[in-house]
A and B are shown apart, each in its own frame.
Chain A
Amino acid sequence: MSNLKKPHVTVMRSQLSRARGLGSGQAGVGHWWAERASAVALVPLSGWFVIQVFRLAGASQPEVAKWGARPLNTTMMLSLVILTFYHTQLGLQVIIDDYVHGKAHLPAGLLMKGIVFLLGLFGTVSVLKLALAGSSRGRIAAG
């Protein structure tokens, strides 16, 4: 027989077995739809926010606090912040699915979701602080 060194073969599983893999994960529809629904919802919310920022340009701190204390504005701001960060983690998960393979995939997703969750929570708390600070009228007037 030939004394040529044969390369060690580690995968002899059939191509069909590899193609079928572990079968269907029975998931993906929800993520796909949530990505699109949140994107559509963010269009009017972002437009509203841009208009509000222009309207508030040059306003004083008490005027902005008063604006932020209105229930409608608080509702819109909370919707915007929560949906933005929800949409962000959906989108970043897609990027991680595309580019991070193997053992790093799960921790990368968890790390990303943790960071986005904290940022979103920070935004939410900030909106709430503005909303609740505005209600204590006397304190603002007293400075």
Chain B
Amino acid sequence: MVEFRLPKNSTVGKGRIFTAAPGATNVKNFRIYRWSPDDDKNPVVDTYEIDLDKIGPMVLDALIHIKNDVDSTLTFRRSCREGICGSCAMNIAGENTLACLKPIRDIEGDIAIYPLPHMPVIKDLVPDLDGAYAQLRSIDPWLKSDTLPPPDSERRQSIEERAELDGMWECILCFCCSTSCPSYWWNGDRYLGPATLLAAYRWIADSRDEHAGDRLDALEDPLKLYACRTIMNCTQTCPKGLNPAKAIGRIKELQLERKA
């Protein structure tokens, strides 16, 4: 059955409070989920009082400040700090997004920061995405063509054919969408999730790809594809402003189209 309550070893307790330096005037509280695999303790939420005058404008700036100057044990992924690598995907103020693209001033009151929901946690804000990456791998996210490319040039597309890929090639695979989806929470072992289905449609829609039928065959499954219940959390949460729900809808339309 579906889990409506957290397992006993996952219930979150109160953690430590790191007070701001005396004299700080522009203080905001960051309440951050902490869990370490190195002891048998339950997760806790630590509170960091941060002087916003000392840091940059984004949530990631606050996290980096905490790691550098307050508490070096805080663990999170980050790399590009400009929304193109997808590493710093996490749940900020109840919404999956990229810490590097989320301005602190957009959030009223304390800022709660948790790892991406319903994934195994490796440590603190670092989720285990191995299953999600394997699902992406399972849809063969690369060009499959039996026609050899011209020997002296690239495979060509019309401007219209290229436009079909807009809204899909921009995906950075941060998995904010998949981990915001209740269907993925309940059936993530079999439902592929919006990020992988968006990637699948990206290749189905590519005019240079010659295996759309095989791709649709592989997706035609009550759970792999049809566990999508059109909840639309994916589209609402995407930090890149993409529309995975629309891509899933297009796959369902094509599944129907080829039946008649």
Tell me whether A97 is interfacial, beta carbon within 8 Å: yes
B192-226 to A contact mask, C-beta < 8 Å, 1/0: 00000000000000000000000001111111111
Tell me whether A104 is interfacial, beta carbon within 8 Å: yes
B121-149 to A contact mask, C-beta < 8 Å, 1/0: 00000000011011101100000000000
Identify the closest chain A residue to B217 (Cβ).
A24
Which of A27-35, A70-78, A125-133 interfaces with chain B? A27-35
Please count how many residues in chain A sit with their CB below 8 Å of the partner chain's CB atoms.
Answer: 24
Within 8 A of B (CB), among A25-70: 25-29, 31-33
Tell me whether A94 is interfacial, beta carbon within 8 Å: yes
Tell me whether A8 is interfacial, beta carbon within 8 Å: no
Tell me whether A10 is interfacial, beta carbon within 8 Å: no
- Find out whether the CB atom of B222 lies under 8 angstroms from the CB atom of A27: yes
- Find out whether the CB atom of A99 lies under 8 angstroms from the CB atom of B1: yes
Tell me whether A143 is interfacial, beta carbon within 8 Å: no
Identify the closest chain B residue to A98 (Cβ).
B186
- Find out whether the CB atom of A15 lies under 8 angstroms from the CB atom of B134: yes
Tell me whether B255 is interfacial, beta carbon within 8 Å: yes
Q: A27: which B residues are within 8 A, CB to CB?
A: 220-222
Tell me whether B190 is interfacial, beta carbon within 8 Å: yes
Among A20, A23, A29, A99, which residue has its beta carbon within 8 angstroms of that of B186?
A99
Give me 21 A-to-B residue pairs in the complex whose CB atoms sit less than 8 angstroms apart, sorted by A's number. Answer: A15-B131, A15-B133, A15-B134, A18-B189, A19-B134, A24-B221, A25-B220, A25-B221, A25-B222, A27-B222, A28-B221, A28-B225, A28-B255, A29-B252, A32-B226, A32-B255, A97-B187, A97-B222, A98-B2, A98-B227, A100-B1
Given A15-B134, A19-B131, A29-B252, 16 additional A-B pairs, CB 8 A: A19-B137, A24-B217, A24-B218, A25-B222, A25-B223, A27-B222, A28-B220, A28-B225, A28-B255, A29-B220, A31-B222, A32-B256, A94-B229, A98-B186, A99-B1, A99-B2
